[in-house]
């Protein structure tokens, strides 16, 4: 009888990929959670999984199982500049929204978003209510 076994390198790669998946999934849970206590639990788990992934990466890198080339100094500088630009843009947008105090603006809709070209749920509900009040029916079909 032949036994197929996974190599230590394969097992390590599987562990690292699993931890990456957990971290991404937990990010969605953190962003969608409305209960602070539970959100904090997800944040703690995510931080632990990130630390574990870093440990697996370092182990694999030391053993030559996950080779990474050194970034060129100009590439590092370019990336840092792009990150700084993004942070500045986000900060400017946030300050612009705060500067509009007294002006009403629609709150962003969070959660599952409609497919491109379809009306959002709130818009559909309003349109259906308007039609039902006017006596016209659309049987719930999207236009």
Answer with the one of 66, 88, 107 that is the final residue of a domain: 66
Q: How many other β-carbons are positioned within 10 Å of the β-carbon of residue 50?
A: 15
pTM of the entire predicted model:
0.56
Q: How much is the pLDDT for 91?
A: 84
Q: How much is the pLDDT for 103?
A: 55
Q: Is residue 104 part of a domain?
A: no
> Which residues lie closer than 8 Å to 59 by C-beta, 6 or more apart?
12
Q: Is residue 61 part of a domain?
A: yes
Q: Is residue 32 part of a domain?
A: yes
Q: How much is the pLDDT for 114?
A: 53
Question: With 90 as the cut, is the pLDDT of residue 22 above it?
Answer: yes
Question: With 60 as the cut, is the pLDDT of residue 28 above it?
Answer: yes
Q: What domain count does the chain have?
A: 2
Q: Is residue 124 part of a domain?
A: no
Q: Is residue 41 part of a domain?
A: yes
**Do residues 26 and 52 touch, judged by C-beta distance below 8 A?**
no
For residues 98-120, average pLDDT: 55
Average pLDDT, the chain: 79
Instruction: Give the SS3 label for residue 135.
Output: coil
Range of the domain at 85: 71-97
Confidence band of 123 (pLDDT split at 50, 70, 90): very low
- Give the whole-number percent of the chain exceeding pLDDT 90: 56
Same domain, 23 and 58: yes
Question: With 60 as the cut, is the pLDDT of residue 143 above it?
Answer: no
Same domain, 23 and 62: yes
Question: With 50 as the cut, is the pLDDT of residue 142 above it?
Answer: no
Q: How much is the pLDDT for 99?
A: 65
Residue range 52-81, pLDDT digits in tens: 999 999 999 999 999 999 999 999 999 999
**CA gap 20, 53 in Å, rounded:** 7
Question: With 50 as the cut, is the pLDDT of residue 84 above it?
Answer: yes
Same domain, 83 and 34: no
Same domain, 21 and 47: yes
**CA gap 121, 1 in Å, rounded:** 58
Taking the alpha carbons of 4, 10, 15, 20 in that order, is the dihedral positive or negative?
negative
Residue 87 burial by CB count (10 A; 0-12/13-18/19+): exposed, middle or buried? exposed
């Amino acid at each position: 009888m032949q036994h197929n076994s996974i190599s230590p390198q394969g097992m390590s790669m599987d562990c690292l990929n699993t931890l990456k998946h957990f971290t991404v999934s937990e990010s969605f849970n953190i962003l969608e959670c409305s209960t602070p206590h539970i959100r904090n639990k997800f944040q703690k788990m995510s931080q632990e999984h990130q630390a574990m992934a870093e440990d697996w990466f370092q182990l694999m890198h030391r053993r030559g199982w996950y080779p990474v080339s050194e970034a060129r100094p100009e590439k590092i500088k370019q990336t840092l500049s792009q990150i700084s630009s993004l942070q500045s843009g986000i900060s400017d947008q946030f300050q612009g929204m705060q500067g509009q105090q007294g002006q009403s603006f629609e709150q962003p809709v969070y959660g599952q978003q409609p497919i491109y070209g379809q009306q959002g749920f709130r818009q559909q509900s309003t349109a259906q209510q308007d039609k039902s009040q006017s006596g016209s029916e659309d049987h719930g079909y999207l236009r």
